[in-house]
Amino acid sequence: MDSRKICDGFEGQKLLTLPEKVLVDFIGNTPALGRMFITHIGYFPNAKYHYMQRKNGCPDNILIYCLRGAGTFKIGDKGFDMKPNQYIITPATEDPLTYYTSEEDPWTIYWVHFCGPDLEVFNRSFSITKDNLPLDIPFNKRGIDIWEEMYKTLDMGFSTENLCKANLCLPHFFSTFFYSRPNEGMEENCITKTILYMRSMLHEKLNVQDMAAIHNFSTAYFSTIFRKATGMPPLDYFIHLKIQKACQLLYDGNNKVKEVAQLLGYDDPYYFSRLFKKNMKVAPEHYKAMRSKDKY
């Protein structure tokens, strides 16, 4: 490691630290949003000689997204190399933390510190531990766009409105990392195309073979990637879309249940009613009656 070490001060960097009093007031004034919140946020482009050492650890979780270049992250006696399009989240810890850029290929990183009373629950829910390795991720344009929104909002001042707006973005920011997929380019295209096809065919009956054939995939492979992407088998997702459309038709129009069933490709209205009740926990007639009351 070069003897020149810089914590911050890189050309083109963006860096904000929220004062402790601002955070205390935010938690007190907005308890619903004060359960987890941004404490520091930054962007270091081509961060030559970047070096950060925290001998007593950090009371915040830290997310670092390496966009370009390379670097090293150490927690306690464990060290991990980071490469382009990798990210790491380390939990709040009292163990020593050290992270620094590569001398030969300085990294460009986006990072966020976040904290709050729900931090421990968050870490348990997403299995965030001190043993986390950097994870590969496709180029995360959505995450960067949300990061920019959070940063620009906070850069306009630490008003309650700005703090609320920025911190409401935080879960969406995390989702772009937690639910990305290594083959997102090809697979997301395939999944999106399939869902659009499903939506255009709500009046028809489809099977998995029909859906897989659109992409020249085997039924087994298509079912696997679809379920991985959506959490549901393809036919269940298709039914989910049909039921969603049924709710709209029952709520917005004057259609009878039998007519809604026919519009969604169900010749047997009794079968449709059973399917609707299974998914919505209420019969379509009762759903229609309840929604009619809501309009007045």
CATH of the domain at 279: 1.10.10.60
Interatomic CA distance for residues 259 and 95, integer angstroms: 64
Note whether 210 and 228 are same-domain residues: yes
Range 18-25, long-range pairs (CB < 8 A, 24+ positions): 18/154, 18/158, 19/158, 22/158, 22/163
Share of the chain above pLDDT 70, in %: 94
Who has greater pLDDT, 180 or 146? 146
**Quick check: is 27 in a domain?**
yes
Note whether 255 and 122 are same-domain residues: no
**CATH number (domain holding residue 76):** 2.60.120.280
Note whether 136 and 29 are same-domain residues: yes
**Quick check: is 2 in a domain?**
no
Interatomic CA distance for residues 172 and 105, integer angstroms: 30
| Domains of the chain: total | 2
Is residue 294 scored above 60 in pLDDT? no
Residue that finishes a domain, picked among 145, 178, 211: 178
**Quick check: is 8 in a domain?**
no
**Quick check: is 123 in a domain?**
yes
Note whether 88 and 214 are same-domain residues: no
Note whether 53 and 142 are same-domain residues: yes
Note whether 88 and 160 are same-domain residues: yes
pLDDT band with cut points at 50, 70 and 90 for residue 271: very high
pLDDT tens column, 43-86: 999 999 999 999 999 999 999 999 999 999 999 989 999 999 99
**What integer pLDDT is reported at residue 296 of this predicted model?**
41
pTM confidence score:
0.67
Note whether 201 and 141 are same-domain residues: no
Note whether 199 and 136 are same-domain residues: no
Residues 6+ apart with CB under 8 A from 243: 275, 276, 279, 280
Domain that holds residue 122: 14-178
**Quick check: is 48 in a domain?**
yes
108: left (phi over 0), alpha (psi -120 to 50) or beta: beta
Note whether 45 and 84 are same-domain residues: yes
